């Protein structure tokens, strides 16, 4: 049963991250996902200090606000301070993450959080924190329920906003010219990334979130020319990685999050080598046959 | 020579646009007539693209305002379409030709609505107009420059707007595409649409456009082509740019001995 809950948790995180990641990589903003996943830390700590408990909703709000603040700061430094986009991302998120670390260490006595947990997560503990009804019936882990809700919200956001997200990603100037606000959809997308990050961070950690945001979409990009197919493939790849990563970790007796992230990397490598349209090996073969 | 018209389609009043406090357009006062094929012409860096982007409110303006159909832009989005520069998007994007053309319908659809059959028919019809119907399912990365331009044009046509802004639609396209595009633009004008085109080739300008806007950071001239494209105004626009002055020479020679009939 524990294996089931762990794999389900991994798959739910993978689904949210892969869907949003497809938009991020096509906007050349994959590293903004990285930035948000780290920069939400002070938001979580502050929410914790205010409420004094590890409640989900205040944490989601605190982290969501910090996520949007991060994207705003990145835009601000890039546009008005005329710093390169990647430099703006680097400065912003390391600074916010560092503030989070200081807050944790200063209020260590009061805050039931630690840095390792934030970075690496502990997906193996997911099945321990169960929701148990008054009658003593177990409804399954708290984290899984929260992730089910978040996955549903992200799915709904992408289905309802599909054409706006698609258009503002492909051609923002045309979108603006026909009256679709690029700023609004940019911040909605970033809000969704913040929500996903904070919902996933305590179970899987920031590193696996970044892996899921970038690797499955990048792999799917190599495998298809159609955007909807790309969304589907990247979700599938994320779920496969959750399964394979779990059993790899059991076999190695190692970190589950680490193993899952490793599998996403292996998937990318395989696609890079063997993709029917973009694969290195196929392409070389094709060039040779044309050449002779 | 700046001619203002009655009941203009586009009215630009005292428009100034700056990039980082450096003005790129200064005090532009301009009106454009309905049903005209308008060429915006000037040397590199004259602010041609900036002018049409500012007209569509894609850039922050330092002063002035733009009205289209005598209304603020926000109320007439559905009547405006835009053909951006081809290089402004990533053509390796995972999308088909049809996906891109269908985007022309998104503005009218509104939030949460999916494209219906009528929208798909309109997109297909637009593809037929540019002669690309057999490419509908083609991945956009497989298109040539001319085909990319036709796809962008089809997307704007699918919108069925009344005013079209086009940024260098003839840049880097083959002759067949250039001819096809100009024929299409003339048809649109004959249907009463207004087409505003950023263009950098002086030689074809006199042949293509009914109305010409000469621009070099300031508005040099705006009026019917035959009244605007003369040596004095061209020198004012291109003044000091020697390579371009030779083009002006070519143009004037052509005016004396017209090689082609004007259609």
Decide which of B21 and B217 is more confident.
B217
pLDDT at B241 over 70: no
Calculate mean pLDDT across residues A38-58. Answer: 79
Beta bridge partners of B81: B164
* Residue B74 to residue A160, Cβ atoms within 8 A: no
Q: pLDDT averaged over chain B?
A: 87
Number of independent structural domains in chain B: 2
B219 and B136 fall within a common domain = no
Q: Which pLDDT belongs to residue B260?
A: 54
Q: Which pLDDT belongs to residue A222?
A: 92
Answer yes or no: is B229 within a domain.
yes
Calculate how close chain B gets to A53, using CA atoms only, in Å.
Answer: 38
Nearest CA in chain A to B112: A160
List B residues 141-160 in contact with A (Cβ-Cβ < 8 A): 141, 155, 159
B59 and B180 fall within a common domain = yes
Nearest CA in chain B to A22: B94
B154 and B198 fall within a common domain = no
ipTM associated with this complex: 0.86
B50 and B64 fall within a common domain = yes
Calculate mean pLDDT across residues A170-197. Answer: 91
Judging contacts by C-beta atoms under 8 Å, the chain A residues touching residue B100 are 170
For residue B22, name the pLDDT band (cuts at 50, 70, 90).
confident
Calculate how close chain B gets to A164, using CA atoms only, in Å.
Answer: 8
Calculate how close chain B gets to A278, using CA atoms only, in Å.
Answer: 12
* The last residue of a domain, from among B120, B142, B161: B161
C-alpha neighbours within 13 Å on the C-beta side of residue B200: 15
* The last residue of a domain, from among B106, B138, B161: B161
Range of the domain at B34: 1-69+162-257
* Residue A179 to residue B78, Cβ atoms within 8 A: yes
Residue A117's SS3 state is: helix
Calculate how close chain B gets to A35, using CA atoms only, in Å.
Answer: 24
* Residue A164 to residue B106, Cβ atoms within 8 A: yes
Calculate how close chain A gets to B101, using CA atoms only, in Å.
Answer: 11
Residue B40 burial by Cβ neighbours in a 10 Å radius (0-12, 13-18, 19+):
buried
Q: Per the structure block, which two tokens stand in for A161?
A: 């906003």
B155 and B121 fall within a common domain = yes
What does the longest C-alpha to C-alpha distance in chain A come to? Answer: 75
- The CATH number assigned to the domain holding B30 equals 3.40.50.300
Nearest CA in chain B to A161: B112
Decide which of B50 and A105 is more confident.
B50
Q: Evaluate whether A230 touches A220 at the Cβ level (below 8 Å).
A: yes
B189 and B248 fall within a common domain = yes
Judging contacts by C-beta atoms under 8 Å, the chain B residues touching residue A221 are 94
Nearest CA in chain B to A170: B89
Q: What span, in angstroms and rounded, lies between the C-alpha atoms of B84 and B74?
A: 19
Top mean pLDDT of A34-48, A166-180, B14-28 is at A166-180
B147 and B43 fall within a common domain = no
B176 and B251 fall within a common domain = yes
| Nearest Cβ partner for B106 among A178, A225, A226 | A178
Nearest CA in chain A to B86: A171
* The last residue of a domain, from among B127, B161, B195: B161
* Residue B89 to residue A170, Cβ atoms within 8 A: yes
What is the pTM for the complete model shown?
0.86
Q: Which pLDDT belongs to residue A101?
A: 85
Nearest CA in chain A to B57: A177
- Per-residue b/e over B150-180, b at no fewer than 16 CB within 10 Å? bbbbbbbbbbbbbbbbbbbbbbebeeebbeb
B178 and B253 fall within a common domain = yes
3-class secondary structure for chain B?
Answer: CECCCCCCCEEEEEEEEEECCEEEEEEEEEEECCCCEEEEECCCCCCHHHHHHHHCCCCCCCEEEEEECCEEHHHCHHHEEEECCHHHCCCCCCCEHHHHHHHHHHHHHCCCCCCCHHHHHHHHHHHHHCCCHHHCCCEHHHCCHHHHHHHHHHHHHHHCCCEEEEECCCCCCCHHHHHHHHHHHHHHHHCCCEEEEEECCHHHHHHHCCEEEEEECEEEEEEEHHHHCCHHHHHHHHCCCHHHHHHHHHHHHHHHCCCCCCC
Hey, of B103, B104, B148, which one would you mutate to test binding to chain A, going by the most A CBs within 10 A of its CB?
A: B103
Residue A194's SS3 state is: helix
| Nearest Cβ partner for A174 among B95, B103, B111 | B103
Judging contacts by C-beta atoms under 8 Å, the chain B residues touching residue A177 are 56, 58, 80-82, 84, 165
B103 and B118 fall within a common domain = yes
Q: Evaluate whether A156 touches A149 at the Cβ level (below 8 Å).
A: no
* Residue A171 to residue B103, Cβ atoms within 8 A: yes
Residue A278's SS3 state is: coil
- List, for residues B146-186, the tens digit of each pLDDT value: 999 999 999 999 999 999 999 999 988 888 889 999 999 99
Q: Does the beta carbon of B99 lie under 8 angstroms from any beta carbon of chain A?
A: yes
pLDDT at A92 over 80: yes
Answer yes or no: is B85 within a domain.
no
| Nearest Cβ partner for B106 among A180, A221, A227 | A180
Name which of B159, B242, B3, B184 is nearest A175 in CA terms.
B159
Q: Which pLDDT belongs to residue B158?
A: 93
B62 and B166 fall within a common domain = yes
pLDDT at B258 over 60: no
Q: What span, in angstroms and rounded, lies between the C-alpha atoms of A255 and A273?
A: 27
Answer yes or no: is B121 within a domain.
yes
Q: What span, in angstroms and rounded, lies between the C-alpha atoms of A271 and A261?
A: 16
B180 and B100 fall within a common domain = no
* Residue B84 to residue A173, Cβ atoms within 8 A: yes
Residue A45: which H helix or E strand, with range? helix A41-51
| Nearest Cβ partner for B93 among A161, A163, A170 | A170
Answer yes or no: is B81 within a domain.
no
Judging contacts by C-beta atoms under 8 Å, the chain B residues touching residue A78 are none
What are the φ/ψ torsions at residue A244 (nearest 5 degrees)?
-60, -40
pLDDT at A201 over 80: no
Judging contacts by C-beta atoms under 8 Å, the chain A residues touching residue B114 are 162-163
Decide which of B130 and A285 is more confident.
B130
Calculate mean pLDDT across residues A236-246. Answer: 95
Calculate mean pLDDT across residues A216-245. Answer: 94
Q: Which residues of A touch B (CB under 8 A)?
A: 26, 160-164, 166-167, 170-171, 173-180, 221, 224-227, 229-230
- Per-residue b/e over B187-218, b at no fewer than 16 CB within 10 Å? ebbeeebbbbbbbbebeebbebbbbbbbbbbb
Answer yes or no: is B262 within a domain.
no
Calculate how close chain A gets to B84, using CA atoms only, in Å.
Answer: 7
* Residue A170 to residue B90, Cβ atoms within 8 A: yes
Answer yes or no: is B105 within a domain.
yes
Judging contacts by C-beta atoms under 8 Å, the chain A residues touching residue B103 are 163, 166-167, 170-171, 174
Q: Which pLDDT belongs to residue A268?
A: 95
Q: What is the distance between the terminal CA atoms of chain A, rounded to a whole angstrom?
A: 57
Go through the domains of chain A in sequence order and give each one's CATH number. 2-123+139-291 (1.10.3470.10)
Answer yes or no: is B120 within a domain.
yes
Answer yes or no: is B133 within a domain.
yes
């Amino acid at each position: 049963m524990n294996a089931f809950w762990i794999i389900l948790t991994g798959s739910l995180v993978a689904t949210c991250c892969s869907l949003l990641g497809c938009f991020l990589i096509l906007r050349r903003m994959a590293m903004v996902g990285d930035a948000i996943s780290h920069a939400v830390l002070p938001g979580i700590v502050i929410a914790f200090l205010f409420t004094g408990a590890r409640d989900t909703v205040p944490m989601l709000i605190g982290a969501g606000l910090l996520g949007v603040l991060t994207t705003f700061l990145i835009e601000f430094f890039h546009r008005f301070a005329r710093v390169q986009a990647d430099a703006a991302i680097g400065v912003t998120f390391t600074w916010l993450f560092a503030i989070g670390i200081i807050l944790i260490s200063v209020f260590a006595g009061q805050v039931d959080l630690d840095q390792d947990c934030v970075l690496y997560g502990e997906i193996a503990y997911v099945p321990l924190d169960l929701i148990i009804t008054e009658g003593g019936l177990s409804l399954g882990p708290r984290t899984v329920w929260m992730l089910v809700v978040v996955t549903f919200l992200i799915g709904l956001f992408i289905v309802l906003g599909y054409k706006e997200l698609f258009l503002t990603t492909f051609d923002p100037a045309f979108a603006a010219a026909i009256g679709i606000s690029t700023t609004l959809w940019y911040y909605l997308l970033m809000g969704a990334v913040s929500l996903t990050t904070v919902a996933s961070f305590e179970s899987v950690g920031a590193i696996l979130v970044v892996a899921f945001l970038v690797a499955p979409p990048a792999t799917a990009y190599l495998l298809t020319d159609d955007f909807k197919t790309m969304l589907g493939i990247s979700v599938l790849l994320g779920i496969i990685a959750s399964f394979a990563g779990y059993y790899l970790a059991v076999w190695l007796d190692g970190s589950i999050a680490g193993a899952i992230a490793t599998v996403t990397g292996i998937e990318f490598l395989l696609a890079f080598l063997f993709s029917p349209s973009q694969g290195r090996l196929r392409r070389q073969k094709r060039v040779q046959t044309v050449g002779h | 020579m700046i001619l203002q018209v009655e009941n203009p389609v586009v009215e630009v009043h005292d428009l100034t646009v700056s990039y980082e406090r450096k003005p790129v357009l200064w005090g532009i006062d301009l009106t454009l007539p309905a049903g005209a094929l308008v060429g915006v012409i000037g040397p590199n860096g004259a602010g041609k693209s900036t002018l049409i982007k500012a007209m569509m409110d894609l850039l922050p303006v330092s002063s002035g305002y733009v009205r289209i159909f005598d209304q603020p832009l926000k109320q007439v989005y559905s009547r405006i379409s835009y053909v951006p520069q081809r290089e402004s998007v990533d053509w390796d994007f995972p999308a088909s030709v049809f996906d891109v053309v269908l985007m022309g319908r998104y503005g009218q659809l509104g939030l949460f609505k999916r494209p219906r059959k009528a929208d798909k028919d309109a997109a297909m019809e637009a593809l037929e107009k540019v002669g690309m119907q057999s490419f509908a399912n083609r991945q956009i990365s497989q298109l040539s420059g001319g085909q990319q331009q036709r796809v962008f044009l089809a997307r704007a046509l699918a919108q069925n707007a009344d005013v079209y802004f086009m940024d260098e639609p003839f840049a880097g396209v083959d002759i067949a595409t250039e001819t096809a595009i100009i024929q299409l633009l003339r048809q649109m004008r004959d249907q009463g649409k207004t087409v505003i085109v950023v263009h950098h080739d002086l030689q074809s300008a006199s042949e293509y456009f009914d109305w010409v806007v000469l621009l070099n950071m300031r508005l040099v001239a705006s009026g019917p082509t035959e009244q605007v494209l003369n040596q004095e105004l061209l020198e004012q626009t291109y003044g000091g740019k020697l390579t371009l002055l030779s083009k002006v020479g070519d143009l004037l020679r052509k005016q004396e001995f017209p090689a082609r009939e004007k259609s």
